Structures are given as structure tokens and as C-alpha cells.
Amino acid sequence: MPTAALYASGDQSQAALQLIELGAIILALGVLGAVAVRFAISAIPLYLVAGLAFGAGGILPFGASEDFVSIGAEVGVILLLFTLGLEYTAGELVGTLRTSAPVGLADLVLNAAPGVIAAFLLGWGPVAAVALGGITYVTSSGITAKVLGDLGRLGNRETPAILSILVFEDLAMAAYLPILTTLLAGASLMAGLTALGVAAATITVILFIALRHGKLVERFVSSPNDEVLLLKVLGLTMLVAGLAQQLQVSAAVGAFLVGIALSGPLAHSAAELLAPLRDLFAAVFFVFFGLNTDPADLPPVLAVAALLAATGIATKAATGWLAARRAGIATPGRLRAGAALVPRGEFNIVIAGLAVTAGLNPRLGPLAAAYVLILAIAGPLLARATDPLSRALRNRRPKTPDPTRQEHEHPAQV
């Protein structure tokens, strides 16, 4: 057989293997989703466990389709943050950031401190402390957005308070990631300030366009044809997310700001069209996280990770309680807000990946993976558990209905 034919045969075989693996992963996601629906639980923990089973060191490792799953995971985070941004208008975002700044700063101190302290106690040094502080600080916007949608809480009165914290954290990441990258590279202070300035300028430009020229963006995207509208919205979101990533701002923040720029009926239409794609790629993201976690690396760091996770649950519960109380939300809504902020995910893994790639500490990666895995599983379960607790609290005071369950025409309005 000629050499070219052999290569063609090898390529065909590889392509077939990739299709088989992708089909198996998506089919498994469908089965797990059906199980979650049957027992009325979030599917996210099941997706994460499936990723562990299919990844390196798992029961049935998949490797041929890793590149596609990696890109799919990135798309999943981008679409989750884009649809989260559709809940806001640009004016509401600016107003929310102004009112949520005190709680956002409290959130930063409460949740970054455990990571910083743990790094120093473990003797890992100041740069590792900055990295671990970021890992324990930021909530997974993607998982939280998925949980709020799954549990039908986008119309709750506590939801704007939750979203304000997520927005504050995502924008804080836009400042934090360039600083961390500079520290890990051992670059000069001037290089760090330059990277931070580029990130701040990028966010300012996107926000300015959203605030001043949002109608022009809507006019460009708008179309009476669903297919054209879908292609325009998806293309614009991916383009801006990629440019934001290139300019030292996370792709997730870029996608979120694109969602901000769209409002009204167009935002509603875009959300409906993108919902199936978002759910598919979001599920791929959770599986990808599990695929990149070797179960054998987890036991040595599990005790420290569990202690940090328990602390993280308490500090995020406190953050949610403070945010909801400032918004005048009753006790059940405060509990739901705290539970919704518990999950960790995409940014935490990005931070850990940067630290590991820089050769900072070989134990940091497994510790971050164990920590995120615990809270990515515990978060949706705790969010679900607050429903019966909220009902119990309402039953104790039957004459005082819980206002946090009232529906609003626009869920992002405070």
C-alpha cells in the first residue's frame, strides 16, 4: 500500500475514534441528565464525576477527542457568561457595581484570605499565596448561572444581589490575572502595570460601546431570520471573547459584556436561540474539568482541600447573606444567595493552570483540583437543599410571605 494511503488510513482511523469518543461522551451526558431530571437534582455533579471516569487515571480514559472537548469547554463558559450578561442592561450594570462595591470588597477579603493564609502555613511563599488566594476567592459564574437556571431562580429577588457579586468578581479577575501572570513570570513592575492598563482599557472600551452605542450593536445583530440572528450573535460573542483574551482580559468577561450590550426583545430572542447550544457546551465544560483531573493526585492533598472547602462554604455563605441583606431580602433569600455563591470552577482552574505551568509548586495543581471538585459538587447540592429550608422558614411565619420568590419583569432590576 502506498505511504500516502497509509497516512490517509491513519487519519481516517483517528477521526473515527474521535467521533466514537465524542458520541459516547454526549450520550453519557444525555443519560446523566435524564437521571438528574428523574431525581430532581442538578446534573453538574454527575457531569464532573463522569469526567473523572473518562479522564487520565479513570476507569475508561479518553484521549483522542481531548482537543475538541477543550475548545468545547471554552465555548461553554463563554456562552454561560454571555447569557448571564443578557440579564443586565449597561445602565443596570454600572448602578449595580456602584451599590455592590462594599459587599464586593468584603467578598474579596473573606474569600481570598483563607488561600493566602494556607499558602504561608504550607511554606509556599508569597507568589503562591497570591495564586491560592485567587483560587479560593472567585465563584464559578458558569456553574452558578447554570444552577440558577436549573432551579428556576432567575426571577427571584435575591438573584440581582448574586449577579452583582459575580460581576464584581469577574471584573476583579480582569485586574488580577495580568498581575498574577507578571508575578509568575518574574517580570518588572512596569510590565505588570502595562498589562493591567491594557485590561482596564479593554473593559472601558467595551462598556462605553455598550452604554453609548448599544442600539447600534443591536441594529447590527438584529434579523427577522432566526438562523441569521443566531450566527450573528454567536459570531460576535466569540469574536469579542477572543479579542478580550488576547488583550489580557478573560474571554468570559468579554462575553459577559457582549450580553450587556444587547437588551429588550433581541436579548430574549438571543437567549432562546442559544439555550440548547449553551447547555450542550456547558455540560462539556464540566466533563472537561473532570477529564483533566487525575484521581490518583487527589488523596495526598484531600485533607487541606476539604478544610479550605469548608471554610469557602462558610465565607461565601456570609458574602451572600451580606449582599442579600443590603438588598432588603428576607432570610430564605439570604440563604439561597449564600448557597448559590459556593461553587468554584473555570477561573479557579485557570489560575491553578497558570501557576503549575510556571513551575510554582507541584502540589498547587492537585490541591486546586480537589478544592474545586469538592465545591463544584457541593455547591449545586447546597443550592438545592436551601429550597426545603426556605419552605420550613416560611411555614414558621405563615402571615409573612417570603418576598424573595416574587417574579419580576426583569430579573436584574433591584
Cα–Cα distance, 18 to 12 (Å, whole number): 10
What CATH number is attached to the domain comprising 310? 1.20.1530.20
Q: Is residue 205 part of a domain?
A: yes
> What pLDDT shows up at residue 408?
44
Q: How far apart are the first and last CA of the chain?
A: 70
Please list, residue by residue across 342-367, b when 16 or more beta carbons sit within 10 angstroms of its beta carbon and e when fewer do: bbbbbbbbbbbebbbebebbebbbbb
Beta-carbon contacts of 302 under 8 Å, excluding residues fewer than 6 positions away, are 370
Instruction: Calculate what percentage of the chain has a pLDDT beyond 70.
Output: 83
**Distance between CA atoms of residues 316 and 339, nearest Å:** 7
Tell me if 311 is assigned to some domain. Answer: yes
Q: Is residue 47 part of a domain?
A: yes
pLDDT band of residue 258 (cuts 50, 70, 90) is confident
The answer on pLDDT for 202 being more than 50 is: yes
Please indicate, yes or no, if residue 407 is contained in any of the structural domains. Answer: no
Block residue for cell numbers 471516569: 53
Is the pLDDT at 9 greater than 70, yes or no? no
| Spatial distance between the Cα atoms of 51 and 180, rounded to a whole number of angstroms | 28
Residue 3 has pLDDT above 50, yes or no: no
Give SS3 for 265: helix
Res 336: pLDDT: 92
Please, which pLDDT band fits residue 117 given cuts at 50, 70 and 90? very high
Q: What is the pLDDT of residue 63?
A: 62
CB 112 within 8 A of CB 137: yes
Higher pLDDT pick, 144 / 41: 144
Most confident of 42-56, 94-108, 121-135: 121-135
Backbone angles phi and psi of 407, in degrees to 5: -85, 145
Q: CA 335 to CA 119: how far, in whole Å?
A: 30
pLDDT per residue as tens digits for the range 310-344: 999 999 999 999 999 988 898 888 999 999 999 98
pTM: 0.71
159-180 pLDDT, tens digit each:
888 988 988 887 787 778 777 8
- Range of the structural domain that residue 211 is part of: 16-397
More confident residue, 88 or 184: 184
Provide mean pLDDT across the span 238-253. Answer: 79
- Contact, 196 vs 179, CB < 8 A? yes
Is the pLDDT at 352 greater than 90, yes or no?
Answer: no
pLDDT at position 4 over 60: no
Which residues make Cβ contacts (< 8 Å) with residue 9, sequence separation at least 6?
1
pLDDT for res 120: 95
Please tell me which residue, 7 or 213, carries the higher pLDDT value: 213
**What distance in Å separates the CA atoms of residue 245 and residue 177, rounded to the nearest whole number?**
11
CB-based contact 229:222 (threshold 8 Å): yes
Share of the chain above pLDDT 90, in %: 19
Whether 165 and 100 have beta carbons less than 8 Å apart is answered as: yes
Can you state the percent helix, strand and coil of the chain, rounding each to 5? Answer: 80, 0, 20
Q: Note whether residue 77 is domain-resident.
A: yes
Q: Within a domain: residue 8?
A: no
At residue 411 the predicted structure's pLDDT band, cuts being 50, 70 and 90, is very low
The three cell numbers locating residue 109: 477579603
Domains of the chain: total = 1
Q: Is the pLDDT of residue 230 over 60?
A: yes
The pLDDT of residue 119 = 94
Between 129 and 53, the higher pLDDT residue:
129
Please check whether residue 410 lies inside any domain of the structure: no
- Mean pLDDT (the chain) is 80
Contacts of 65 (CB under 8 A, 6+ apart): 17, 18, 21, 22, 25
Please give the pLDDT value at position 413: 36
Tell me, yes or no, whether 226 lies in a domain: yes
